Amino acid sequence: MSATWTVKMFSENRTMIKLFKVKEKQRELAENASGGPPVKKQSAGELRLHKDISELNLPQSCTIHFPNGKDDLMNFEVSIRPDDGYYLGGTFLFSFQVSPIYPHEAPKVKCKTKVYHPNIDLEGNVCLNILREDWKPVLNINTVIYGLYHLFTEPNYEDPLNHDAAAVLRENPRLFESNVRRAMSGGYVGQTFFPRCI
């Protein structure tokens, strides 16, 4: 009796497995009814990023670009052209790399424009608290872009990555302004050359 029951269970399990495979195949066919290639499933991070991008409310001086096309939303660039402050008239490009576990992890942001700035080092690393210890999943891409914009309208010498620029801003704001203008025009500040970004 127990052998008969085992055979019956084995037979029922095989039938159930076949049934699941048939249903899975039907679902795939329904998803691909357009005749195109299989549809790639989006991660939770991609879904959230799509929502964030659709709800962007950027200042006119900021633009977003997708250099890899619409199929790669997780990597994009933001161009910021401050309309106030020391960096007025400059154009600064940032790359964003967004993790599949976004928003539980902050996007990785780098400044692609070499800039004389207390909160951005010469390798493009950005010191912005919401990209580090103050990141929370309720924050979004719009918040990050506004934070970057704010770095240009009000640079912060109290939390620097470029200590030399921070010291000049703190001790001699007029010299700092002169250094920023020289760097943005394509010139040297100390021993470092900055390409033109005006």
The dihedral of CA 48, 49, 55, 58: what is its sign?
positive
Compute the distance between CA of residue 177 and CA of residue 154 in angstroms, rounded to an integer.
Answer: 12
Q: What angle do CA 130, 159, 125 make, to 5 degrees?
A: 65
Report pLDDT digits (tens) over 64-100. Answer: 999 999 889 999 999 999 999 999 999 999 999 999 9
- Catalytic residues, by residue number, are 127
Global pTM value: 0.79
Task: Render pLDDT for 139-148 as a digit per residue (tens, 0 to 9).
Answer: 999 999 999 9
Per-residue confidence (pLDDT) for residue 71, from 0 to 100: 85
Six-digit token string for 45: 């991070």
Looking at residue 144, its amino acid is V
> Which range among 24-33, 49-58, 122-131 shows the weakest confidence by mean pLDDT?
24-33
CA dihedral 22, 26, 27, 33 (to 10 degrees): 160
Which residues, in sequence order, are CB contacts of 138 under 8 Å at separation 6+?
103
Are the C-beta atoms of 142 and 57 separated by less than 8 Å? Answer: yes
* pLDDT of the residue at 25: 61
Amino acid symbol at 104: H
Three-state SS for 29? Answer: helix
Cβ neighbors of 4 (< 8 A, separation 6 or more) are none
pLDDT at 90: 98
Specify the higher pLDDT residue, 154 or 9: 154
CB 110 within 8 A of CB 161: no
